[in-house]
Chains A and B, each alone.
Chain A
Amino acid sequence: NAGVTQTPKFRVLKTGQSMTLLCAQDMNHEYMYWYRQDPGMGLRLIHYSVGEGTTAKGEVPDGYNVSRLKKQNFLLGLESAAPSQTSVYFCASSDLGGKTDTQYFGPGTRLTVL
């Protein structure tokens, strides 16, 4: 039982390049989330999904797209990377998404945009 895994762990991009971050969970959770973590700002929600085939915007969605084609996977895409997107990205999942639900986090992806 691996929990939540993220690929890759590290990535360096040049401005304007594109990339996709992959998140996978093996807990059969309905809800999945993408956050970014910046110094002094905690975690901020980028996009989330309440089930296979659905996505919704979070607090800071601009410049990102997501897809949830399979229940266990949640992809985060950057179409044209900018230095402001340098951050650590965390994926999380939860069972039912209610306000009492615990979110389970992956180990993170450190992205640097030059």
Chain B
Amino acid sequence: GDSVTQMEGPVTLSEEAFLTINCTYTATGYPSLFWYVQYPGEGLQLLLKATKADDKGSNKGFEATYRKETTSFHLEKGSVQVSDSAVYFCALSVINDMRFGAGTRLTVKP
């Protein structure tokens, strides 16, 4: 069935470092792809999304490009901040069904 595999954590970076969190997917159709972020004690919030191949989603300095040829949707940020510390989830969606990866915990140290 449809599924998402994302880079296992935890990931620890220093402030201003470059971030990559890998995400690959398996899907029979043409899903939409999402990155959600979960801050401590809160629910998930949408970070960015892409709905078709070659689309780039971006928000708050984060970017991810929908690569159909490599079935990937890697999350990147050029310079992380302490406030980016959270758990990041990659997800794919077909109608009425959203599948999540296991999540990657990011800690950014000053």
Could you tell me which A residues sit within 8 Å of B by CB distance? 4, 31, 33, 40-45, 48, 50, 56, 58, 90, 92, 97-108
Contact = CB atoms under 8 A, between A and B. Distances in A.
Task: Name the prevailing secondary structure of the A interface residues.
Answer: loop
Interface residues on B, range: 20 to 34
Interface string B89-110: 1000111111011110000000
Contacts of B100: 42-44
A102 B94 contact: no
Task: Name the prevailing secondary structure of the B interface residues.
Answer: strand
Nearest to A6: B43
Contacts of B22: none
Interface of B: 4, 31-32, 34, 36, 41-46, 49, 51, 89, 93-98, 100-103
A92 B44 CA distance: 9
Contacts of A104: 46
Contacts of A106: 43
Nearest to B43: A105
Given A42-B102, A42-B103, A48 B44 contact: no
Contact of A40 (B41, B97, B98, B102): B102
A90 B98 CA distance: 13
B43 A100 contact: no
B93 A101 contact: yes
